[in-house]
Amino acid sequence: MRLGEPPKIVKDQINLRSPDVCNASISMKLLHEKFMLAALSAARQASAAGEVPIGAVIVCGDEIIASAFNTCEADHDALAHAELKVIREAARFKGNWRLNDCTLYVTLEPCPMCLGALFQARVGKLVFGCFAPQNVGTSALRHIGTSSLTDNNHTLSIVGGVLEKECSEILKLFFKLRRDAL
């Protein structure tokens, strides 16, 4: 264990059926859903603007400090992904590019570019809605059974599948309407 690092808890040391553990996991699930709903709201704004409906928020403590959605079409910028925009906004808000005490909520699993940005910004936790099977980034986590990635001397905790159905539906509807319009 390194200085400042929390002690590693062996699975057998925790009674997973205790009321404290159950209540903590339920409240964490509700907290994740609350902030994912905010990201979904940003995704709806993107859809209304004719953008691919992906929304993101960054939470520090229990407060949303930044919110953004894709604006690639409006900005004529392939880099105008919700994750990159929300990272910039949060860094300006905090006056610091290191966001290690923050959680980024995004409606779709980040692409490799955005995942790299999460590491560069030292974001502490990533929570995403629906999986993007075409991504080689975090999709691999489903297959290797891990909940974090380490790169650039930083570990990013990851939770996927929060409000997965709702996050997936907004994307499916957007692309269905685009196909139908052709």
**Residues designated catalytic:** 83
HSE-CB at 171 with a 13 A cutoff on CA atoms is: 17
Q: DSSP character for 164?
A: H
Q: 27-56 burial, b for 16+ CB within 10 Å, e for fewer?
A: eeeeebeebbebbbebbebbbeeebbbbbb
Query: Which DSSP string do the residues of 37-97 spell out, in sequence order?
Result: HHHHHHHHHHHHTTS---EEEEEETTEEEEEEE--HHHHT-TT--HHHHHHHHHHHHHT-S
